[in-house]
């Protein structure tokens, strides 16, 4: 765009921008667009704080950008530039400490708390609304200021003696003055910017995108100088914003259920709209961190989560005609908690404790007609590699274990090798002449020749390694010695030495084991996915971002993996969501290996943090707790009260300097744990004092609202996103507001 020369038009444009786009107006939900110098952003629009308190910024464009400075005057300072850097502008900051001594849902109640406390102490007491608290409308009662954390800790003791049991230290920043200049490096030239610099970075065309410090973003980027440094904001369409938030909060690669992602999209949209303007004093709506919602720009978008956003466009969760506080937690551990027990304030009827189970689960049973007995020889189990190679048509279909413990002959060994080479698409004529008896050395020569590994032996295997690996097998000499050493080093022969002795012929099972390892070192023939169900006799899998239905052979090998150990089965009962790997030939599953989660009906059972343990020393916990409470030496931790989900909602911290009652979400922060659903075991030293605390727990997060992995489990069992949302948000309904 050319620079506007007419002064009247210039001032009109400035007023238009300020009043229409950046003026904090109530959002209008419609199909209109917001116009800014040729760049259109469909409404609704959201402003995301990307960086606060920063002094080094690198912005690039995929195909050019325009840079405007808006202040008392209006100026186009760069047109169609590819990249630029901004450095400097960070004032010297110091810190102060205040004590949070109370909170209330309305200002009058908070001010009454302040008046009551003022009769007991002389310190400054004030009330302010908390813009960062996840449940809106909370008013905080604070006592301050304190120059050091130690001063604040000492005053907690005074408050405790006056009956104030829940004082909490907050750190706040103050400006001491003295700032660095703000510089803009553009087209290899430095430009000094004023103390109140306000810049807009606009893609040159609608197909372009901007990158901030190598992370790409939709929409436009603004930069404003503040006392904390520069504040960088991404302004974009709300639905485009959600295309990054949904996969950031619930990964489609790990939790690839469309209905769960749609539930996440509605919850994230509701949260975003509910919290528009939360940080308006800083120039944006919400943060890009978990404190608001995880937002990482375009780089994390995926087709499946984009589809979830698009198919729920404009939909939000409401209760009594109002947007809900759509809180969600990663893994609830079996049951969510009442919101007031974690966050304080008044109870919210739609954020009540909920069992993370599904009333209508479907159970599928897979069966096979192929009984499998273990093939064991000299303490080793060859069953799984044999089953895998039979499934890939490398070995003959022979279920009698005795067959595999018998000696192999050279002819069948070469035939199996040819089948393996055909599977890999390789030539089948690389066999050394005059092999002789089928022992360890000669089988090693056959493998090296068939797979053309001689070059690896010549260049990657040192003579000293050969001597080290073969020191226990001096009888193996000649061309087979180096081949055996290489196969031991590559893990194809057992680590303790070659298969058998030089003078002993190998069994079919031993050949099968080393052949399987050889093939696996070249290519993984297993498919990997998540079990979704059985539809018309076919097994349905989620494989990456697609769903597939594959026929299960009635003669398939079925394996059950529990705690990392595989065992063969003739029947498997599945609930959905199990991790699987399988081998298929001719679009038919020939081997299916299922990894079973903990034996439970809890929906979030697939989460790695469904159960967890944390062991902490007394000194470690003492140092952490002492940042918040003057406990002296830590004596013990007591679970004082539990909520409906059995989370610890009141924890009594006992120390030589006093005891303190920690409540709600603060328990998690003070102890540094994944969740507050835990029990405590104690270890004691020789003097009988506690030396370590072991926390055995379930869940990850605050435990309130939608359980994300539970939503995934419901979707796997066939639930639609509307049902998922109504389960975790009691009494709500879905409304479409644009």
**Considering its fold, how many domains does the chain have in total?**
5
Residue 317 lies in a domain: no
Residues 400, 499 within the same domain: yes
Residue 443 lies in a domain: yes
Residues 70, 205 within the same domain: yes
Show which of 552, 568, 600 is a domain's final residue. 600
Residue 285 lies in a domain: no
Q: Which two tokens stand for residue 684?
A: 């004691």
| Residue 406 DSSP symbol | S
Residue 267 lies in a domain: no
Average pLDDT for runs of 10 along the chain of length 738: 37 36 40 66 93 79 89 78 78 75 81 88 84 61 86 86 83 64 76 81 88 93 80 95 97 90 98 93 90 94 96 97 95 95 91 90 85 76 93 91 90 93 86 78 91 92 89 80 90 64 78 94 92 87 78 93 87 85 95 84 84 95 93 95 96 94 93 96 94 96 96 89 97 96
Residues 194, 76 within the same domain: yes
| Residue 18 DSSP symbol | I
Residues 76, 98 within the same domain: no
Residue 406 lies in a domain: yes
Residues 620, 638 within the same domain: yes
- Per-residue burial over 87-106, b = 16 or more CB atoms within 10 Å of its CB, e = otherwise: bbbbbeeeebbbbbbbbbee
Reported for 513-516, long-range contacts at CB under 8 A and 24+ positions apart, including other chains, are 513/380, 513/382, 513/385, 513/386, 514/443, 514/447, 514/487, 515/385, 515/389, 515/394, 515/416, 515/417, 515/420, 515/447, 516/385, 516/386, 516/388, 516/389
| Domain span holding position 625 | 612-697
Show which of 175, 204, 222 is a domain's final residue. 175
Strand partners, 583: 591
pLDDT of residue 180: 61
Residues 66, 206 within the same domain: yes
Show which of 475, 497, 522 is a domain's final residue. 522
Q: How many whole angstroms separate alpha carbon 271 and alpha carbon 261?
A: 15
Q: How many whole angstroms separate alpha carbon 109 and alpha carbon 496?
A: 75
For residue 44, say if its preceding peptide bond is cis, omega within 30 degrees of 0: yes
Q: Kindly report the pTM of this predicted structure.
A: 0.74
Residues 501, 621 within the same domain: no
Residue 682 lies in a domain: yes
Residues 65, 150 within the same domain: no
pLDDT of residue 737: 93
Residues 80, 163 within the same domain: no
Residues 73, 123 within the same domain: no
Could you tell me which of 31, 32, 34 has the C-alpha nearest to residue 314?
A: 31
What stretches of 563-657 adopt beta strand conformation (E)?
A: 565-569, 571-574, 579-585, 588-595, 612-617, 634-642, 648-655
Residues 570, 541 within the same domain: yes
Assign 415 to helix, strand or coil: helix
CATH code of the domain covering residue 530: 2.40.50
Residue 738 lies in a domain: no
How are the residues of the chain apportioned to helix, strand and coil, as percentages rounded to the nearest 5? 30, 35, 40
Residue 332 lies in a domain: no
State the alpha helices, DSSP H only, in 258-365: 258-274, 303-311, 339-343
pLDDT of residue 167: 87
Q: How many whole angstroms separate alpha carbon 631 and alpha carbon 623?
A: 10
Residues 518, 537 within the same domain: no
- Give the DSSP H or E segment for 355: none
CATH code of the domain covering residue 144: 3.30.70.1070
């Amino acid at each position: 765009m050319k620079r506007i020369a007419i002064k009247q038009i210039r001032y009109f444009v400035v007023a238009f921008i300020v009043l229409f786009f950046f003026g904090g107006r109530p959002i209008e939900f419609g199909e209109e667009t917001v116009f800014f110098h040729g760049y259109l952003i469909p409404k609704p629009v959201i402003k995301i704080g990307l960086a606060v308190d920063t002094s080094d910024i690198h912005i690039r464009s995929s195909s050019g950008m325009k840079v405007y400075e808006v202040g008392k005057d209006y100026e186009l300072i760069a047109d169609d530039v590819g990249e630029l850097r901004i450095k400097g502008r960070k004032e010297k900051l110091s810190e102060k400490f205040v004590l949070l001594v109370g909170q209330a849902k309305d200002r009058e109640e908070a001010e009454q708390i302040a008046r009551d406390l003022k009769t007991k102490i002389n310190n400054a007491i004030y009330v302010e609304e908390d813009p960062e608290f996840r449940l809106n409308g909370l008013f905080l009662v604070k006592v301050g200021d304190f120059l050091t954390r130690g001063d604040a800790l000492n005053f907690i003791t005074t408050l405790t003696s006056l009956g104030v049991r829940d004082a909490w230290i907050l750190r706040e920043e103050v400006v001491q003055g003295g700032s660095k200049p703000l510089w803009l490096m553009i087209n290899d030239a430095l430009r000094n910017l004023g103390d109140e610099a306000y810049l807009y970075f606009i893609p040159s065309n609608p197909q372009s995108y901007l990158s901030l410090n190598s992370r790409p973003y939709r929409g436009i980027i603004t930069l404003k100088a503040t006392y904390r440094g520069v504040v960088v904001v991404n302004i974009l369409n709300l639905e485009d914003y959600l295309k990054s938030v949904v996969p950031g909060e619930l990964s489609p690669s790990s939790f690839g259920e469309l209905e769960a992602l749609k539930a996440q999209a509605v919850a994230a949209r509701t949260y975003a709209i509910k919290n528009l303007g939360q940080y308006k004093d800083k120039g944006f709506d919400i943060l890009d961190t978990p404190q608001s919602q995880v937002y990482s720009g375009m780089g994390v978008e995926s087709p499946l989560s984009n589809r979830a956003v698009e198919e729920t466009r404009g939909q939000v969760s409401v209760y009594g005609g109002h947007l809900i506080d759509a809180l969600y937690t990663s893994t609830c551990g079996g049951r969510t908690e009442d919101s007031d027990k974690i966050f304080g304030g008044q109870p919210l009827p739609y954020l009540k404790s909920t069992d993370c189970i599904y009333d209508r689960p479907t159970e599928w049973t897979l069966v096979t007609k192929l009984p499998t007995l273990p093939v064991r020889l000299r303490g080793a189990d060859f069953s799984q590699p044999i089953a895998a190679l039979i499934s890939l048509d490398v070995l003959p279909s022979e279920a009698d274990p005795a067959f595999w413990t018998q000696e192999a002959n050279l002819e069948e060994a070469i035939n199996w090798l040819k089948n393996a080479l055909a599977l890999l698409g390789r030539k089948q004529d690389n066999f050394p002449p005059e092999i002789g008896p089928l022992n360890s050395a000669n089988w090693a020569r056959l493998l090296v020749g068939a797979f053309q590994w001689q070059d690896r032996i010549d260049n990657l295997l040192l003579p000293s390694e050969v001597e080290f690996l073969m020191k226990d097998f001096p009888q193996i000499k000649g061309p087979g010695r180096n081949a055996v050493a290489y196969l031991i080093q590559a893990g194809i022969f057992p680590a303790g030495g070659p298969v058998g002795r030089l003078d002993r012929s190998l069994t079919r099972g031993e050949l099968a084991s080393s052949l399987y390892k050889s093939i696996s070192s070249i290519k993984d023939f297993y498919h990997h996915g998540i079990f979704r169900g059985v539809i018309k006799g076919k097994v349905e899998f989620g494989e990456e971002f697609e769903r597939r239905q594959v026929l299960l052979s009635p003669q398939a090998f079925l394996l059950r993996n529990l705690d990392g150990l595989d065992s063969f089965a003739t029947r498997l009962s599945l609930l959905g969501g199990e991790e699987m790997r399988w081998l298929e030939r001719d679009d038919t599953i020939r081997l299916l290996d299922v990894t079973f989660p903990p034996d439970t009906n809890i929906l979030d059972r697939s989460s790695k943090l469904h159960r967890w343990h944390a062991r902490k020393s007394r000194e470690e916990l003492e140092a952490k707790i002492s940042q918040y409470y003057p406990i002296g030496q830590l004596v013990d931790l007591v679970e004082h009260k539990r909520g409906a989900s059995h989370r610890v909602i009141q924890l009594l911290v006992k120390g030589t300097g006093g005891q303190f009652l920690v409540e709600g979400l603060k328990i998690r922060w003070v102890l540094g744990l994944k969740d507050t659903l835990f029990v405590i075991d104690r270890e004691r030293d020789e003097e009988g004092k506690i030396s370590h605390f072991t926390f055995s727990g379930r869940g990850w997060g605050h435990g309130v609202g939608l359980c994300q992995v539970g939503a995934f489990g419901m979707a796997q069992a066939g639930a639609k996103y509307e049902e998922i949302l109504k389960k975790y948000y009691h009494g709500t309904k879905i409304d479409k507001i644009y």
